[in-house]
């Protein structure tokens, strides 16, 4: 059993343990006197795990019900949340009751948003079942839904009261989503942990529990320093400005989020390395690791396509875009670039220096 405590506006614990979902009731009972618990899950996850979670909650005296929505990012919308509100109303869910989000990031973000807004806020528990949600979205209290104008445009900061991570749930996760999650895992290594990066690179099948624990610990540290995302939390965005642009260029199909972040991170690091801002050899190390985890190292798109597609990125503030550059593996810094100077900046940076031209 591994445990990570998070000290934010609301403090909570994250438990990582094989089979822990079958003990959900015990852990939830420790943090609430709620009479009712509503499990929110999607059409892929509910048939696999909802009964186990529900049985355990029943055992600890909760009156339970299950709300299931159709799986997929397309459903991460206000219309689905509205259906949740109707369900909560019909089941007389009061402010003392609790929501249990069981699923990937889509479920967690949306159930969290419903919890943040139902009766002006009720407690919720995260039981993430994808690698991405276990290492990233279940921790930190960002909840959201998408609009047709863009992803995650409507949301709230609303911390969970408990996070239960059961690595056994990953046994049913399709490979594509495992790879996707590894895109984010590698990101953590790049920005904060050379040791994690090296373990991923050196070991044949690194211990997944330990990897999840390390990623969650890094996210905890960053979120504790910057709960509302006004400073340091931006480092979690490494590879994401280009990654989001790539997702947009692919029209959100044919490339997953983690794949786009991977390709974006590598392109960015190649550029900053050429410019001398990143230690020599860093991009090559990143490239090898991405290949090892089946992540893309290139796309059909060049900076010419990518730069215009970065405008409107959520991480822009005023007229600047905040990039995250690597100084070295495990060491990063935030580098704001004026949007009006974006092309100059990257064109300039993209040019090989005469020396590197001479050698090859």
Ligand X SMILES: NC(=O)c1ccc[n+]([C@@H]2O[C@H](COP(=O)([O-])OP(=O)(O)OC[C@H]3O[C@@H](n4cnc5c(N)ncnc54)[C@H](O)[C@@H]3O)[C@@H](O)[C@H]2O)c1
Q: Which residues bind ligand X (CB under 6 A)?
A: 42, 44-45, 48, 71, 73, 76, 103-107, 109, 129-130, 132-133, 136-137, 140, 142, 151-152, 169, 172-173, 177, 180
Query: Minimum Å distance from CB 24 to ligand X?
Result: 15
Instruction: Answer for the pair 27, 164: CB distance below 8 angstroms, yes or no.
Output: yes
Q: Taking the complex as a whole, how short is the minimal distance between the CB of residue 137 and ligand X, in angstroms? A: 3
Nearer to ligand X, 71 or 277 (CB): 71
Nearer to ligand X, 133 or 310 (CB): 133
- Distance in Å, CB of 105 to ligand X, minimum: 2
Instruction: Give Rg (Cα) of the chain.
Output: 21
> Nearer to ligand X by C-beta: 38 or 271?
38
Report, in Å, the least distance between residue 227 CB and ligand X.
Answer: 12
Closest CA to 127 of 152, 85, 99: 99
Taking the C-alpha atoms of residue 269 and residue 297, their distance in angstroms, rounded to an integer, is 12
DSSP-assigned states of every residue in 119-158: GG--EEEEEE-SHHIIIIITSS-EEEEEETTEEEEEEEE-
Between residues 172 and 347, which has the closer beta carbon with respect to ligand X?
172
- Residue closer to ligand X, measured from CB, 91 or 151: 151
Coil, helix or strand for 273? helix
- Alpha carbon distance 146, 245 (integer Å): 16
Nearer to ligand X, 21 or 339 (CB): 21
Whose tokens are 């786009």? That residue is 260
Contact residues for 135 (Cβ-Cβ < 8 A; gap 6+): 181, 184, 185, 188, 211, 212, 215, 216, 219
First to last CA, the chain: 51
Cα 159 to its chain centre, rounded Å, is 15
Least gap, CB of 220 to ligand X (angstroms): 13
Least distance from C-beta 311 to ligand X, angstroms? 20
């Amino acid at each position: 059993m591994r445990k990570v405590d998070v000290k934010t506006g609301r403090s909570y614990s994250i438990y990582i343990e094989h089979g822990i979902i079958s003990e959900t009731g015990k852990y939830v009972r420790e943090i609430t006197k709620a009479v009712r618990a509503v499990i929110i899950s999607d059409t892929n996850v509910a048939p696999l795990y909802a009964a186990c979670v529900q049985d355990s909650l029943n055992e600890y005296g909760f009156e339970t019900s299950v709300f299931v929505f159709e799986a997929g990012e397309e459903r991460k919308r206000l219309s689905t949340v509205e259906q949740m509100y109707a369900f909560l109303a019909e089941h007389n869910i009061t402010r003392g009751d609790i929501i249990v989000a069981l699923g990937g990031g889509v479920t967690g973000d949306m159930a969290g948003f419903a919890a943040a807004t139902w009766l002006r806020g009720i407690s919720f528990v995260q039981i993430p079942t994808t690698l991405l949600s276990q290492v990233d979205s279940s921790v930190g209290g960002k909840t959201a839904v998408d609009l047709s104008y863009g992803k995650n445009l409507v949301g709230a900061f609303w911390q969970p009261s408990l996070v239960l991570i059961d690595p056994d749930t990953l046994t049913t996760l399709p490979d594509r989503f495992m790879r996707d999650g590894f895109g984010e895992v590698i990101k953590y290594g790049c920005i904060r942990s050379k040791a994690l990066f090296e373990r991923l690179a050196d070991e044949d099948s690194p211990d997944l529990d330990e990897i999840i624990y390390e990623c969650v610990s890094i996210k905890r540290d960053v979120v504790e320093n910057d709960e509302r995302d006004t400073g340091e939390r931006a480092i979690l965005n490494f590879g994401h400005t280009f990654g989001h642009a790539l997702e947009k260029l692919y029209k959100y199909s044919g490339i997953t989020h983690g794949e786009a972040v991977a390709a974006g991170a590598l392109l960015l690091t190649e550029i900053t390395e050429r410019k001398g801002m990143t230690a020599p050899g860093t991009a090559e190390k990143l490239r090898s690791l991405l290949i090892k985890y089946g992540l893309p190292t290139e796309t059909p798109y060049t900076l010419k396509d990518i730069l215009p597609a970065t405008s409107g990125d959520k991480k822009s503030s005023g007229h600047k875009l905040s990039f995250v550059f690597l100084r070295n593996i495990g060491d990063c810094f935030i580098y704001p670039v004026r949007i009006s100077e974006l092309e100059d900046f990257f064109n300039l940076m993209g040019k090989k220096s005469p020396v590197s031209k001479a050698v090859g």
